[in-house]
Structure 1
């Protein structure tokens, strides 16, 4: 346990529920390893108390805090400014108190890009990317991929109007990227055969569900699969891809990378290398 004293700086995370969050483990490990006098605390905040909680955190002078479900979008009206990452994603997962003003960021998307590079040696470019899902996670991921140089993205979602809405918005923000919606119940063999990265942004797989409409058999041998769902036992998508000889990982790396970026926003320093990931690994096996 970190030693808390009068000069200890406080950061935390708000959400409902919050008991499952792994962020306190990895952030406090990084603060300790970096010899920083910070403590990271979870705060359970119900939706009807969100505004009061944000005001209270600001008045108390916390350095900042993470935001998780269900507050990532609803917190926006209570902040003073948004970074481009949060504005384009339409969601906030990190807040910093700067000169008595609350500034919202979204480190999820850039954390994904970091993890793609570290865990799969994949960097957005000319390759075609297939994104499954059209919720808030998909919006943030697509925005970050566009900022990182992605040239062609297909969106596949059961509710196609949601996918079309994201495509319309992103085409305005990032005209250099070709963004198309899969207008069918299944992804065609031709589309899959040209896909270099399959990215699942939905919660499917968290309870063992399979993703309908995407047949991994048609992916090229050089394709890579990234499942934003994090599961100690592995998700069906990751296991199926690996069984087919396709390199695949789950969202652990993204969880770590978004946390590392939040750490830098709050402290102005890079976190000690590898500490957050090792802390999560140790917590998972404890």
Structure 2
């Protein structure tokens, strides 16, 4: 990689960033496409976020990805927030155009793209979301925007699940339930797709998984896990053992990254290169 004063700069704002695979994934994509871009890790503690955002503009960055813990806080420093970020209530991609900072969220559409690539159609289907955090909100927004019939949000704390459900006030029914209640088992028995949006099963705590009563699920139910490290979580392994189609989190990571790549470059991303780089990094 030959970096010069003409090289276009993008990067990743978050804290900490020691294990992020995004720089390797995006730099491999830029190299494969012959683009003079570089993707830099930009570890930014919360107290330095305002200065970091001002620095992006001053240093001529094209944009950045935004990750924990800045995805909501960064919104107050932006000139414009795209509808994709307004629906999710968080920004994960920033584009700097004509000195204006524009916030987007590619998580929802990235997840839906990963389902489509796996041959999963959600129109008219019922979904259960495990977890009531920011990732859950993105998935619910993606589902609603693609004509899901109904969504149930299951969490340890019903108050959090209900609070998340109340954020969605359109025509699609969205409800909250507690994991330890019969309503949760009933929702699972009717679900066409179950999505884990919690960190349960993520490295290094790979033995954990959400409390799903597997015998309640339909045989044809699709089981999806946003965790991508490890590539095959215990949750997915158990679903596979029981005959369910499974979809891991790596696909969403690649697709949301590919959408960000297109926002920055105006070109389609080399998804195969991005996926190969990601999987190599995880192994």
TM bin, normalised by shorter chain, reads over 0.9
Aligned to 2:195: 199
Contact 1:160 1:183 in 2 (8 A): yes
Q: Deviations over 1:23-52 (max 9, x none)?
A: 011101111111111000001100100000
Sort the Cα spacing of 1:239 and 1:184 in 2 relative to 1 into closer, same or farther, 3 A: closer
Range 229-238 or range 31-40, more displaced: 229-238
Q: Residue 95 of structure 2 aligns to a residue in which SS?
A: strand
Q: Alignment RMSD, CA only? A: 1.4
Report the Cα offset of residue 79 of structure 1. 1.0
Aligned to 2:128: 130
Aligned to 2:165: 167
- The separation in 2 between residues aligned to 1:268 and 1:80, in whole angstroms, is 21
Aligned to 2:109: 110
Aligned to 1:156: 154
**TM-score, structure 1 normalization:** 0.94
- The separation in 2 between residues aligned to 1:6 and 1:192, in whole angstroms, is 55
Give aligned pairs, total: 279
Runs of 5+ in structure 1 lacking a partner?
Answer: none
Report the Cα offset of residue 189 of structure 1. 4.1
Contact 1:151 1:176 in 2 (8 A): no
In the alignment, does 2:257 pair up with 1:259? yes
Sort the Cα spacing of 1:50 and 1:22 in 2 relative to 1 into closer, same or farther, 3 A: same
Question: What does residue range 1-286 of structure 1 map to in structure 2 within 5 Å?
Answer: 2-119=1-118, 121-171=119-169, 175-182=170-177, 185-186=180-181, 187-206=183-202, 207=205, 208-212=207-211, 214-232=212-230, 234-285=232-283
Q: Deviations over 1:51-108 (max 9, x none)?
A: 0000111111100000111111111111111111111111111000011110111111
Contact 1:217 1:244 in 2 (8 A): no
Q: Residue 125 of structure 1 aligns to a residue in which SS?
A: coil
Report the Cα offset of residue 281 of structure 1. 1.9
Runs of 5+ in structure 2 lacking a partner?
Answer: none
Contact 2:254 2:271 in 1 (8 A): no
Contact 1:113 1:123 in 2 (8 A): no
Contact 1:85 1:144 in 2 (8 A): no
Q: Residue 75 of structure 1 aligns to a residue in which SS?
A: helix
